[in-house]
């Protein structure tokens, strides 16, 4: 299963973190943006090309530090078809650098629509007799709050193509309590979702013991991380909310099992925008991102030992 691949990359680099690629135009160093607006004007084409250069530069700087990257599709979608082309190229470049790619798409539809999303991001599109891979990510994020109909089409591609998916369980945003913390019978809603994720993933565990369906559990809820790690012993966790959203290494340690496995922690702005704090106007964006990623890795190492 694909979580075996992710865990092996984490172990090789002794680093259970993923760098988010959430590039808004204002996150891009001015010299990169200016180069492309000079050629293409203040257009979506210029912005998309600048994002592509920025993200590929970040990948170059981080490829031997982090095991994975997580491009967020929204930031590419806002640049139209040019942005989606850039996203396709960013994913391909990351895979060329042997990074695990988590496409942060948070899809949550059902039926044939869900199947189409899955074919686009994890599977293939059939054109006559030819099966054409599209974005070909290793993993996606999903919103499963429409129930198993929103998850099963992706699970089918996960099991047949050695892919995996993270399903939202308890998210890091403050308003998650409005719905996810409501009592549902003898459980809270986020607990019921966690149980559903583990139940649907039964029979898909790989060598590392984790199923093809993982769960998103925010770093800003350490007590929930501890609770769900104990309850969902076969579920790999994606832990957002580190850094800019307030999650710390002390918080995320509860996401890992006794072998230091079973979780990967995300940081986006604190790595991508590290150059904004150095006073060099972005000329050192790669060095700044690498330093921030190494700092995050070393902070987590103080609490988590990967065996």
Instruction: Provide the 3-class DSSP secondary structure of residue 47.
Output: helix
Q: Smallest Cα–Cα separation from 14: which of 303, 240, 298?
A: 298
Instruction: Provide the 3-class DSSP secondary structure of residue 125.
Output: strand
| Nearest-angstrom CA–CA distance, 255 and 247 | 12
Instruction: Provide the 3-class DSSP secondary structure of residue 25.
Output: helix
Residue 8 burial by CB count (10 A; 0-12/13-18/19+): exposed, middle or buried? middle
- Does the annotation mark 106 as catalytic? yes
Q: What six digits make up the tokens of 58?
A: 């970040």
| Nearest-angstrom CA–CA distance, 50 and 34 | 9
| Nearest-angstrom CA–CA distance, 38 and 142 | 38
Q: Smallest Cα–Cα separation from 254: which of 279, 277, 236, 227?
A: 227
| 3-class SS letters over 52-97 | HHHHHHHHHHHCCCCCEEEEEHHHHHCCHHHHHHHHHHHHHHHHHC
**Active-site hit among 13, 106, 226, 295:** 106
User: Which segments of 143-258 does DSSP mark as H helices, in order?
Assistant: 152-161, 177-180, 189-200, 222-231, 249-252
Q: Which residues are catalytic?
A: 106
């Amino acid at each position: 299963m694909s979580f075996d691949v992710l865990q092996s990359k984490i172990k090789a680099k002794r680093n259970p973190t993923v760098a988010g690629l959430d590039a808004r135009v204002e996150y891009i160093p001015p010299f990169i943006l200016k180069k492309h607006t000079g050629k293409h004007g203040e257009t979506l084409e210029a912005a998309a090309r600048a994002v592509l250069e920025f993200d590929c530069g970040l990948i170059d700087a981080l490829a031997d530090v982090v095991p994975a990257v997580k491009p967020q599709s929204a930031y590419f979608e806002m640049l139209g078809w040019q942005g989606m082309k850039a996203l396709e190229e960013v994913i391909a470049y990351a895979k060329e650098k042997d990074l695990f790619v988590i496409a942060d798409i948070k899809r949550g539809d059902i039926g044939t629509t869900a199947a189409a999303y899955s074919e686009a991001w994890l599977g293939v599109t059939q054109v006559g007799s030819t099966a054409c891979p599209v974005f070909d990510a290793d993993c996606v994020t999903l919103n499963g709050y429409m129930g198993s109909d929103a998850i099963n089409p992706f699970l089918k591609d996960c099991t047949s193509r050695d892919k995996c998916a993270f399903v939202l369980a308890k998210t890091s945003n403050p308003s998650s309590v409005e719905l996810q913390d409501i009592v549902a019978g003898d459980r809270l809603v986020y607990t019921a979702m966690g149980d559903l994720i583990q139940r649907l993933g039964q029979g898909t565990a790989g060598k590392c013991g984790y199923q093809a369906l993982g769960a998103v559990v925010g770093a800003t809820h350490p007590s929930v991380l501890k609770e769900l790690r104990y309850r969902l012993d076969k579920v790999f966790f994606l832990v957002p909310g580190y850094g800019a959203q307030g999650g710390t290494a002390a918080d995320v340690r509860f996401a890992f099992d006794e072998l230091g496995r079973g979780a990967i922690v995300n940081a986006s702005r604190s790595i991508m925008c590290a150059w904004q704090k150095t006073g060099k106007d972005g000329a050192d964006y790669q060095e700044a991102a690498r330093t921030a990623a190494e700092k995050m890795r070393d902070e987590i190492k103080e609490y988590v030992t990967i065996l």
